[in-house]
Amino acid sequence: MWACSISTNLVQYLIDVLGYGTVDANNTVTNWSGTVYIFPLLGAFLADSYFGRYNTIIIFSIVYILGLVGVTLSAGVPALHDGQHGINSSSLFIGMLYIVALGTGGIKPCVSSFGADQFDESDPDQAREKSSFFNWFYWMINIGALIASLLVVNLQTKVSWAWGYAVPTMAFGVALTVFLLGTRLHQHVPPGGSALTRIGQVLFACVRKFRVKPPKDAKELYEVDDKLSAVKGSREMAHTDQLKCLDRFVPIMISTIVFNTVYAQMSTVFVEQGLTMDLSMGPHLSITSASLSAFDTIAIIILIPFYDRILIPFLSRYNLQPTYLQRVGTGLVISTFSMVAAAIYFIIGAAEIMVNIGTLEMFYSEAPDAMRSLGSALQLLTTALGSYVATAITSIVASVTTRGGSVGLLPDNLNQGRLDYCYVVLVIMSVLNIFFFLIVAKLYKYKKIETGK
């Protein structure tokens, strides 16, 4: 909930409180959002290699809380947010945001993976429950997002920013306490040692044995069952699969970057577009611009139960349940229509269910057992790259269209610009990306587990 409380309304805080312009506020938000999804690579590496997912969550939660408290104080203490005593209020606030981003790096890639670790994949019933877990995990995230976009955002804009940040900070403290109380009930998967070391060993062996002819029986290339070869906590997979999984994931990651570029508009352009609208809902009720994202969240909260409890059982009855890639492809098509309709939140929510949950489950399930946190981190990395692409597009559009003294497509007053042209650019990118995804999906090969080991 706290992350949503920041990102949903961050652009408005930067403009109204810190005095940022439209383009600078957009780029600050997307750059920070991108960094939030870069740091999981660090957290995932530490979890898989040394600490385990549970310990990583605890360690980075402490960093996360420190950042939360810092952001709250920078918004609530006058001497900190008014620039008194030589304090640069903008730098302090942004610095605290990046501490939050660092803390997020150990939480995001490990929480979903840690939850999925509780299921025994060798049991068909639990394997189905694990797939359902990812749907409901994402559903719970959006319950928190709904609270943030409706209650916390209004607390920020109508009461005070300090209280708007303090309440979710306290809520996270409660959530961490509940998590700690369940420690003895959790199943803990031990770390498997440094994946980078194993990948390096494979690369070194490839170079060293470049001229060696492979054996006729491919099974001789697999791991042997001894301490020098076996990875603790892992089932046996085809030789070098820890390296090859990266080759398989990268094209899928590239094909979802454009989707995340579209999704990044939720916390920037969509909010700014809402600031120019009449958001009154009758004579006594109005909503904030940032609360518009609640419609996306509501769509997800409604559609996930339908998808998990009605659609999937119906399709399974006729053996038509979608594969990971079919689910992602459907979401990419849906997201394109959201740009055609210029910010229809309900459509984006439907696309999220297909793409985000589909890739979340896919990158966990398709990763080697000892690299599953890294698999989740790679899925999150696509969100980071999408945010950075959004920053680049905004900067390029602003630079090109303001030449010669023109107000450009994205001026501070959007009513003077042409926001619709920006949506056209995103539609074109989305359509081209669908064709790229179809090629990638056709070439993708799902992982195989060696049975009987």
Q: CB–CB of 132/70 below 8 Å?
A: no
Average of per-residue pLDDT across 341-366: 84
Residue spans of the domains in the chain: they are 2-210+238-443
pLDDT of 241 > 60? The answer is: no
Lowest-confidence region among 17-31, 96-110, 362-376: 17-31
Check residue 87 and give its pLDDT.
60
Lowest-confidence region among 10-24, 156-170, 411-425: 411-425
Check residue 233 and give its pLDDT.
53
Check residue 225 and give its pLDDT.
54
Residue 239 confidence class, pLDDT cut points 50, 70, 90: very low
Check residue 155 and give its pLDDT.
85
**For residues 276 and 216, what is the distance between their CA atoms, to the nearest angstrom?**
69
Fold of the 2-210+238-443 domain: Growth Hormone; Chain: A; (1.20.1250)
Q: Measuring CA to CA, how many Å separate 236 from each of 242, 449, 451?
A: 11, 6, 8
pLDDT higher at 179 or 405: 179
Residue (of 348, 352, 329) closest to 339 by Cα position = 348
Check residue 328 and give its pLDDT.
94
- What is the residue-averaged pLDDT of the chain? 81
Instruction: Give tens-digit pLDDT for 208-220.
Output: 767 777 777 665 6
pLDDT of 346 > 60? The answer is: yes
Structure tokens at 65: 């809380």
Check residue 238 and give its pLDDT.
47
How many CB atoms are closer than 10 A to CB 105?
28
pLDDT of 112 > 60? The answer is: yes
pLDDT higher at 285 or 119: 119
Q: What is the DSSP string of 328-379?
A: HHHHHHHHHHHHHTTS-HHHHHHHHHHHHHHHHHHHHHSS-GGGHHHHHHHH
pLDDT higher at 280 or 171: 171
pLDDT of 227 > 60? The answer is: no
pLDDT of 430 > 70? The answer is: yes
Average of per-residue pLDDT across 113-132: 88
Sign of the CA dihedral with 74 first, then 76, 82, and 84 last? negative
Check residue 178 and give its pLDDT.
93
pLDDT higher at 44 or 370: 44
Record the pTM. Answer: 0.80
CB within 8 Å of 348: residues ≥ 6 apart: 262, 263, 266, 296, 299, 335, 338
pLDDT higher at 310 or 82: 310
Check residue 386 and give its pLDDT.
87
Instruction: Give tens-digit pLDDT for 245-272.
Output: 667 888 999 999 989 888 877 666 666 6
Backbone angles phi, psi at 418, to 5 degrees: -135, 75
pLDDT of 449 > 90? The answer is: no
**For residues 161 and 77, what is the distance between their CA atoms, to the nearest angstrom?**
11
Check residue 107 and give its pLDDT.
94
Check residue 278 and give its pLDDT.
65
Residue 1 confidence class, pLDDT cut points 50, 70, 90: low
pLDDT of 53 > 50? The answer is: yes
Check residue 92 and give its pLDDT.
86
- Highest mean pLDDT: which of 214-218, 340-344, 354-358? 354-358
Check residue 211 and give its pLDDT.
73
